[in-house]
Structure 1
Amino acid sequence: MKSTISKVLLAAVTAAVVLSACSKVSDESKHIPKTAGLVVDLNAKQLTQKLVTNGVTMDKLFSAVQSKDTANDVMKAWKDAENSGIDLQSHFFASFVFQGQPTEHKSYVSLTASLKDATKFEAYLKKNVSDFSLKTQNDFKYIWEEKNHAVIGWNKETVIYISAVDANDLNKYAPGNAMPSPNDNEDTNQAIDSAAKATPAALVTAEDNAEAKTWVAEVDHLFHLKKDESAGTIEPFAKLLKENADVSVFVNPEAIYNSGQFTMIPANVKKLMEGTYYTGTANFEKGKVILDGSTYMGKEIAAIYKKYGKKEIDLDMLKKYPSDNITGFISYAFDFRMIGDIIKATGMDGMANMFLSGKSGLSMDDILNAFEGQLTYVASDFAITKKESEYFPGEFSDKPSAKWIFSLKVGNKDAFNKVMTSPMLKDVFAKEGDHYVITNPMMMGAGAPPMSITEKYITLGSDSALLQLYLSGKGNIKLPEGIEDKVKGNMVGGYIDIEKISKNIPEDKLDADEKPIVLSLKTLFKDFTLVGHAVSGDIQHTEAVLNFKNKDENSLVQLINFGTEAAKVMQAKQAKNKAYEDSLFAAPVDSAVAAH
């Protein structure tokens, strides 16, 4: 994490992220307010056990990832953290609390962890925080970090870290930025170096400023949350904590909408989303990563789903694809009329109809009734081949290619014909029997794919031959064993054959230094499947599985091993580049040139 995250918890949080370990249920959750818009729960103990069981320890991990120049400092910081009094084998919670207007700067991120030894933790802070100034309030101690606008508060059992957050600059907390890299991030380098080398400072007794008092009061509030103020009183969050997952995520849209951060959202939109929550988990198992997500629908949005009943994907649209070399597909069943009901519930249907009527003479209902909401996209025969440039004849380059079909099912026949003969499309298509043909190819563009438009389906294809085979209905797709049964009867089904795609990456074009990484990657993943179940009650459940080729080893261990090998390759490449640059500067000056 960057400088806004306290260097006190840097090593612990870094370890959790490096482990891809994330934590779960525990007493720390009672310090999370129900106003939190996002909560990430890291089950460090559970994932550490999965690593240790397979012989991966933090010592081996750091020594494998770090270069000789930085390994000692990083290892020293880690050993320091191990003796900090923080329970690095417990749960870590990261919560984002959005409150007030963005200009008021009242939003914050909090990190919560367990303490094994509060005395050791205090000693750790004295040693590693240069501006250490110990204070007490009620039943907890704290220090104020002026530079980071942060408070670290702790009692005998728990440590809570709070740092102010600019709600307009949350990209710094995005997953891609969450993992500090000693080689890439100067702020992180300084934080780790400071944590490793800082010397004890004398206690300071200066009074807190107004900003510090505000955040200390918030820490005090979190330590003493009443039961009805805690996120634990929200049923989806409570259910999430009971699951035995490695990684858990909770999103409360209502807490974000009502915080003042999104003042432009109309009140009726907020009312529509009232009571809606999202939860997700990730588990690292042997040979696979299992991802689960649930959408808990509020009263109004659930009523819209129930109005249109259960909808299942049309497998016939998928199964008639004529190939046994499938690289992936996505099939979706969604009643488009629900979109209309949602827009009407927000009060924006009048504006939508006015816009559509002016452009096409159509209403929103005309368009939504025209399509059934059954769509399928299938791809096969992925390859990377040499193709001639359309701009520079005679020049060839490697480009990916694939065969594919996209098909959308027509809904109400009359509504569909009304759309196709509307002022917006009447000059582009003409009806011949039950088909529509293009009357002005120029309007479609030179790169438009072959298409078939009937009163039953709109179908596009990568080439005419494939399109005709698909339309004949004689094709018979060959899916991997068990995939059809997995997606059958659901509203969403998807599959990607990662192994088949990666096999087509040409090895002769790879950078010699990076080639080992790509070759390792080609042996890592097998495929990915996605299933979205129909709404049950007021919950819509989705599950995804990332399968690895090695089914006998834990997926987290495989990811860690791949990551450490990749780090070694990149370090070797950096060292090689540096040696080359040094050799250029160290090259002797030609004597003839020197004479001049």
Structure 2
Amino acid sequence: MKRTISKVLLAAVSAAVFLSSCSKTPDESKHIPKNAGIVVDLNAKQLTQKLVTNGITMDKFFSAMQSEDSSSKTMKEWKELENSGLDLKSHFFVSFVFQGQPSEHKSYLSMTGSLQDAAKFEAYLKKEKKDFSLKTEKDFKYIWEEDKHALVAWTNSTVLYISPVDPSDLNKYAPAGTPGLPGTDDEPSIEDANPAAIDSAAATPVALLATADDAEVKTWVAEADHLFHLKKEETAGALEPFAKLLKEGADMGVFVNPEAIYNSGQLTMIPANFKKLMEGSFYTASINFEKGKVVANGIQYMGKEMAAIFKKSGKKEIDLDMLKKYPSSDVTGFLSYALDFQMIGEIIKSTGMDGLVNMFLSSKSGLTMDDLLNAFEGQLVYIASDFSVVKKESPYFPGEFKDEPTAKWIFSLKVGKKEAFEKVMNSPMLKEVFQKEGDRYVLANPALAANAPAMSITDKMITLGSDSVLLQQYLGGKGAIKLPEGVESKVKGSMIGGYIDLEKITKNIPLDKQEEEEKTIITKVQALLKDATLVSKPDGDKIRTEAVMNLKNKDENSLVQFFNFATEAAKVMEAKKARSKAIEDSLFATPVDTVVAEPVH
């Protein structure tokens, strides 16, 4: 059985969700550097409490997810992992650290966890890794994974897994056999494509190869040493947004530091002025599994310069009238957005790119950036309703029908300054496409108009619709949308408001052509999901976003519901697999030929 240290640690991160917990809150975050671009936190303690209190055990998990033989095998492996010395009841952090130019290969992924027993962990690695070679460096030990070019290092209380991130060597991270990558079954390796490469490698003295390998190991050992001994001001915890995220104590957390990514040299095309504009900007998200719902709360922290721009022109609320006059009570979903386009202009001007933008626009259309920004107010809405799946005849094969989703919809964008809008519509870019008839603009090409959606373009509003009847009803303003209770009040006053009825979408999935196993799974999905909402509002120098997915069962924790759905779906697919194998065995079974002796005449 082939297993690597990286798989062991990844399994620990994933499977920690299913253990009971009573340990103290760990402090693994002190080994995350300040220049980490992305950090993901898994709070195993909270997640496991929500599962264990509802009777979720590892025995139930393995028996549901796999066949009896593989379940026993996996359970044995899990028991060994439980006794490995890893603290599977603590936080696990996955960090992406971007540094240096891509060609320098200095960026890496690190996983950080706690140890309960370092001696047990060392014994576990020695048993699992065939080429185990223990080394000691100052106050920590490590092994080097030659096949993965990765380092596993540990002290008495903490374990680090460091794997270099090399964008030019994607096959290192892809599953074996991934098409289109060198070294896979579908594409010859470098050696296969270039026999000279083999000769070149064979001609390289062993001493030189060893020196190169030693240098790589020393680089990552030094990085591990750095992470183990970070000063407080060098850690991600020194950044207030990250520290606040940890204090929330969420089930899961995500932290993004754009400045760390920009300054690493990974994105060389970004103008220096834009980097300056983004100074002090961060993104955090906390995810919690609650009774009957999953709640994700995000915060966009704006730096000083970005906050000044936002304060000047960014605070805008969605126009609820554009939403409320939609004429339907069978709403599938909507997205309303409010953004002062002048804010985009301010951002471009602050980076010094406005001259280049104006030059490009002028050469193509005779317009300026201000013309475009003044032409639209920044209020838009998309609404869909009456979603269904219907059988439609193929235009290429008469008499052949297939299931296709269909819905009614409206997209509407409010026009800004009339003079600027008319200048845009009369510019060389659009004057050949549209012509004015009365107070409206229509497509000049009849063939194009015949295949375009229903539309109404005036100097007040641009509106597109799925059909002309719905469009006219919407424009008449006599309709009244009917939303679920609480949705309108929730999105009121926000800069982004969204809603989707998952129940209506899933109930329209056709079952007649599905196999029995698929029907069972789809039915369970229909019984699980209800709807989801999205709201984003400004809060000083921050923008707060809340996304909520509601489930039909309001009395049971959402994590437990997803777990039960996954295990039930796994049982169904396991049964399908067994049934398919039985059919295959019966088809390929070799009948025993009976030889009959011919009579002698």
Same fold (TM over 0.5): yes
Q: 1:565 maps to which residue?
A: 568
Q: 1:469 maps to which residue?
A: 473
Question: Shift of the alpha carbon at 1:5?
Answer: 6.1
Does the residue aligned with 2:451 lie in a helix, a strand or coil?
coil
**1:155-198 CA-partner distances (Å, limit 9, x unpaired):** 22111111222144679879xx9xxxxxxxx9xxxxxxxxxxxx
Q: Distance in 1 between matches of 2:163 and 2:131?
A: 16
Aligned-pair identity (%): 72
Structure 1 residues 378 and 552, CA gap change in structure 2 (3 angstroms): same
Q: 1:520 maps to which residue?
A: 524
Is 1:301 the counterpart of 2:306? The answer is yes
**1:79-131 CA-partner distances (Å, limit 9, x unpaired):** 11111111111100111111122222211111111111222222222222222
* Contact preservation (8 Å) 1:24, 1:246: no
Q: Distance in 1 between matches of 2:392 and 2:554?
A: 37
Q: Distance in 2 between matches of 1:258 and 1:481?
A: 47
* Contact preservation (8 Å) 2:495, 2:537: yes
Q: Distance in 1 between matches of 2:560 and 2:553?
A: 11
* Contact preservation (8 Å) 1:3, 1:148: no
Question: Shift of the alpha carbon at 1:3?
Answer: 7.8
**1:8-41 CA-partner distances (Å, limit 9, x unpaired):** 424312304789x9x9974100000011111000
Q: Distance in 2 between matches of 1:5 and 1:93?
A: 17
Q: 2:357 maps to which residue?
A: 352
What letter matches 1:210 in structure 2? A
Question: Shift of the alpha carbon at 1:571?
Answer: 1.7
Does the residue aligned with 1:260 lie in a helix, a strand or coil?
coil
Structure 1 residues 303 and 169, CA gap change in structure 2 (3 angstroms): farther
**1:341-374 CA-partner distances (Å, limit 9, x unpaired):** 2222222222222222222211111111100000
Q: Distance in 2 between matches of 1:530 and 1:286?
A: 18
Is 1:60 the counterpart of 2:64? The answer is no
1:320-335 map, 5 Å: 320-335=325-340
Q: 2:382 maps to which residue?
A: 377
Is 1:279 the counterpart of 2:314? The answer is no
Q: 2:111 maps to which residue?
A: 111
Structure 1 residues 342 and 17, CA gap change in structure 2 (3 angstroms): farther
Does the residue aligned with 1:125 lie in a helix, a strand or coil?
helix
Does the residue aligned with 1:133 lie in a helix, a strand or coil?
coil
Q: 2:493 maps to which residue?
A: 489
Q: 1:192 maps to which residue?
A: none
What letter matches 1:279 in structure 2? T
Unaligned runs of 5+ in 2: 176-183, 185-209
* Contact preservation (8 Å) 2:26, 2:114: no
Q: Distance in 1 between matches of 2:269 and 2:443?
A: 42
Is 1:146 the counterpart of 2:146? The answer is yes
What letter matches 1:554 in structure 2? N
Structure 1 residues 81 and 417, CA gap change in structure 2 (3 angstroms): same
Question: Shift of the alpha carbon at 1:268?
Answer: 1.7
Structure 1 residues 4 and 341, CA gap change in structure 2 (3 angstroms): farther
* Contact preservation (8 Å) 1:5, 1:163: no
Q: Distance in 2 between matches of 1:432 and 1:243?
A: 58
1:214-363 map, 5 Å: 214-363=219-368
* Contact preservation (8 Å) 2:503, 2:530: yes
User: RMSD between aligned alpha carbons?
Assistant: 2.5
Is 1:550 the counterpart of 2:589? The answer is no
Q: Distance in 2 between matches of 1:171 and 1:540?
A: 38
> More deviation in 251-260 or 540-549?
251-260
Count of aligned positions: 559
Q: 2:544 maps to which residue?
A: 541
Is 1:391 the counterpart of 2:396? The answer is yes
Structure 1 residues 453 and 120, CA gap change in structure 2 (3 angstroms): same
- Equivalent position to 1:436, from 433, 441, 453: 441
Structure 1 residues 477 and 52, CA gap change in structure 2 (3 angstroms): same
Q: Distance in 1 between matches of 2:535 and 2:171?
A: 29
Q: 2:161 maps to which residue?
A: 161
Hey, which bits of structure 1, 4+ residues long, moved more than 3 A? 2-5, 16-19, 23-26, 167-174, 589-592
Q: Distance in 1 between matches of 2:169 and 2:37?
A: 16
Question: Shift of the alpha carbon at 1:404?
Answer: 0.5
Does the residue aligned with 1:467 lie in a helix, a strand or coil?
helix
**1:494-542 CA-partner distances (Å, limit 9, x unpaired):** 00001011111122122222211111011100000000112x2211110
Q: Distance in 2 between matches of 1:501 and 1:5?
A: 43
Does the residue aligned with 1:479 lie in a helix, a strand or coil?
coil
What letter matches 1:340 in structure 2? G
Question: Shift of the alpha carbon at 1:4?
Answer: 7.8
* Contact preservation (8 Å) 1:152, 1:159: yes
Q: Distance in 2 between matches of 1:591 and 1:513?
A: 40
Q: Distance in 2 between matches of 1:171 and 1:133?
A: 26
What letter matches 2:158 in structure 1? T
* Contact preservation (8 Å) 2:255, 2:282: yes
Q: Distance in 2 between matches of 1:445 and 1:433?
A: 17
* Contact preservation (8 Å) 1:151, 1:215: yes
* Contact preservation (8 Å) 2:277, 2:350: yes
Q: Distance in 1 between matches of 2:285 and 2:24?
A: 12
- Equivalent position to 1:511, from 505, 509, 515: 515
Q: Distance in 2 between matches of 1:316 and 1:328?
A: 16
What letter matches 2:545 in structure 1? T
* Contact preservation (8 Å) 1:247, 1:283: yes
Structure 1 residues 336 and 567, CA gap change in structure 2 (3 angstroms): same
Is 1:12 the counterpart of 2:20? The answer is no
Q: 1:79 maps to which residue?
A: 79
Is 1:366 the counterpart of 2:371? The answer is yes
Q: Distance in 2 between matches of 1:98 and 1:445?
A: 50
Q: Distance in 2 between matches of 1:25 and 1:224?
A: 20
Q: Distance in 2 between matches of 1:18 and 1:261?
A: 37
Question: Shift of the alpha carbon at 1:242?
Answer: 0.6
Structure 1 residues 462 and 231, CA gap change in structure 2 (3 angstroms): same
Is 1:124 the counterpart of 2:129? The answer is no
Question: Shift of the alpha carbon at 1:143?
Answer: 1.8
What letter matches 1:349 in structure 2? D
* Contact preservation (8 Å) 2:278, 2:306: yes
Structure 1 residues 5 and 107, CA gap change in structure 2 (3 angstroms): farther
Question: Shift of the alpha carbon at 1:306?
Answer: 1.1
* Contact preservation (8 Å) 2:25, 2:90: no
Question: Shift of the alpha carbon at 1:490?
Answer: 0.5
Q: Distance in 1 between matches of 2:570 and 2:413?
A: 45
Q: 2:100 maps to which residue?
A: 100
Structure 1 residues 25 and 310, CA gap change in structure 2 (3 angstroms): farther
Q: 1:576 maps to which residue?
A: 579
Q: Distance in 1 between matches of 2:460 and 2:541?
A: 32
What letter matches 1:261 in structure 2? Q
Q: 2:503 maps to which residue?
A: 499
Is 1:588 the counterpart of 2:591? The answer is yes
Q: 1:203 maps to which residue?
A: none
Q: Distance in 2 between matches of 1:513 and 1:419?
A: 55
User: TM-score, structure 2 length as denominator?
Assistant: 0.88
Q: 1:199 maps to which residue?
A: none
Structure 1 residues 159 and 359, CA gap change in structure 2 (3 angstroms): same
Q: 1:211 maps to which residue?
A: 216
* Contact preservation (8 Å) 1:24, 1:245: no
Q: 1:448 maps to which residue?
A: 452
* Contact preservation (8 Å) 1:96, 1:108: yes
Q: 2:191 maps to which residue?
A: none
What letter matches 1:274 in structure 2? E
Q: Distance in 1 between matches of 2:67 and 2:166?
A: 34
* Contact preservation (8 Å) 2:18, 2:56: no
